[in-house]
Structure 1
């Protein structure tokens, strides 16, 4: 029991989680040279826009924002804007309007701080997932809303990850070493990890590695591993293929009670609440 309590005290800071309450609509539109929209505003919804090709300019209360191919823009609820398509290179875009849960998870302002400033850096691969999102939304097959929710969560996760990596590259002299260490930790899966071996791999002493890792990631290597396991647990529980006990054992936890308490410490919810 003492070991269990010691491990649980490592979780003083809760990792922010994202909960999408509802997707209102998703649209893919190819515009013309004279296309524009004036004074758009979604009072209670966030908006995520991906540009496939061409250019457009947003006219905002605090200035102008130009968006081009493979760029993303995120707008807060109530944020007023007008849009003008470039007359020489009209844009093609996907717009997703969604609401975050008001009772749990981060709010729209916190999401903006994680995503960074507009326009957000993106890739063609992210563009492919936006197309998948449009296809799923327009299909209206049974369960389409669950699929759309999952794709949108994935997209936001990818964008947050890119923003985080970008910040690390320009703020950390040891970024490349931490990146190698993260890749090594990911490859271990549920196996036991030797921090000494990983530290040697990146040319650092174990104590120096622990210090730099926490400086970069905000948590110790141990807590990072636990957090990744909880992320995987949510995926397994939501799949409908694993119950709570099976999920715990799949991720290397021998004590289901410890796993359940650990899970709730991170997410604020019981593992069973994610079961399909």
Structure 2
């Protein structure tokens, strides 16, 4: 059970915060801002005695990214322990209490957001919190995106500035949901991740067939454990993902080369052209022939 502590609301050395409720409400009819918008944003370093208790929650979703120290949150009858490199999401209108750890207080980047897209994003973040999949690899790039959000709000509240912030917020939040995409260019990603290593191998061997056992061996995992981790990471089985990579390559060849459809199939290691056509239609929703007719460049 979370103990009550001194209810300090602000005054942390180095803190910064911006609150824009009236302005945001005024712009809710803007086509971009009505989708996703920040109402409050801030940074609290080493936030001793930081505490919030809201019996009915608030109208916005609360997002907290902890980069150092610890904190706790109680909501929905459950208590969540938040450590460094983890995030906390509190859905709108949800009763909650949260606080920094007394002995090792958190350092947090935080924001409140709302909009027609916000519910789906908050739910996805919350689902991962529930599964304890809210651990995030620290990235200076992510912090720079947050700083850009804050700095642009400090620069002014012109409509175009708020629109830029709205779109940038989507990018910032997506970095917590799709780390492998956000960190795509970080050199350690493939080397340290067996699933990414096998995906890299798939791309290099796109023109041959690879078995599940061969892919699992690349990842140095058993086939069953590899399949489980792969689906957790990508949402697809290894072979289904490999087939999608093949069809992606087929689209490029159909669009930008003069290769016949059967030649495209053979180049992908698929000797049964009818199977290739069925697979292509299953993934792309149209046949290879119709795809080429629709998308092949017609010239200037």
Smaller-chain TM-score range?
A: 0.5 to 0.7
**Structure 1-normalised TM-score?**
0.54
Summarize the Cα distance change of 1:198–1:189 in structure 2 as closer, same or farther, 3 Å threshold: closer
Partner of 2:151: 135
**Structure 2-normalised TM-score?**
0.50
SS of match in other structure, 1:78: coil
Q: Alpha-carbon deviation of 1:34?
A: 2.8
1:37 aligns with 2:52: yes
Q: Alpha-carbon deviation of 1:85?
A: 1.0
For residues 207 and 19 of structure 1, what CA distance do their matches in structure 2 show? 47
Give CA deviations for 1:200-254 in whole Å, capped at 9, x if unaligned. 677556776788899xxxx82368xxxxxxxxxxxxxxxxxxxxxxxxxxx9888
Summarize the Cα distance change of 1:32–1:76 in structure 2 as closer, same or farther, 3 Å threshold: closer
Tell me, yes or no, if the aligned pair for 1:45 and 1:76 is still in contact at 8 Å. Answer: yes
Greater radius of gyration (CA): 2
Q: Alpha-carbon deviation of 1:167?
A: 3.0
Summarize the Cα distance change of 1:170–1:20 in structure 2 as closer, same or farther, 3 Å threshold: closer
Range 173-182 or range 30-39, more displaced: 173-182
Summarize the Cα distance change of 1:22–1:68 in structure 2 as closer, same or farther, 3 Å threshold: same
Summarize the Cα distance change of 1:23–1:174 in structure 2 as closer, same or farther, 3 Å threshold: same
SS of match in other structure, 1:220: helix
Tell me, yes or no, if the aligned pair for 2:36 and 2:170 is still in contact at 8 Å. Answer: no
1:172 aligns with 2:237: yes
Residue 147 of structure 1 is aligned with which of 164, 167, 171?
164
Partner of 2:128: 117
Aligned runs of 1:73-84 on 2, under 5 Å? 73-84=88-99
Q: Alpha-carbon deviation of 1:58?
A: 0.9
1:47 aligns with 2:50: no
Range 76-85 or range 160-169, more displaced: 160-169
For residues 185 and 29 of structure 1, what CA distance do their matches in structure 2 show? 50
Summarize the Cα distance change of 1:48–1:33 in structure 2 as closer, same or farther, 3 Å threshold: closer
For residues 89 and 182 of structure 1, what CA distance do their matches in structure 2 show? 51
Summarize the Cα distance change of 1:173–1:49 in structure 2 as closer, same or farther, 3 Å threshold: same
Question: Gapped runs of 5+ residues in structure 2?
Answer: 1-32, 182-229, 287-294
The count of corresponding residues between Structure 1 and Structure 2 is 201
For residues 107 and 93 of structure 2, what CA distance do their matches in structure 1 show? 24
1:159 aligns with 2:176: yes
For residues 182 and 55 of structure 1, what CA distance do their matches in structure 2 show? 46
Tell me, yes or no, if the aligned pair for 1:121 and 1:163 is still in contact at 8 Å. Answer: no
1 or 2 for the larger relative contact order (CA 8 Å, sep ≥6)? 1
The CA RMSD over aligned residues, in Å, is 4.4
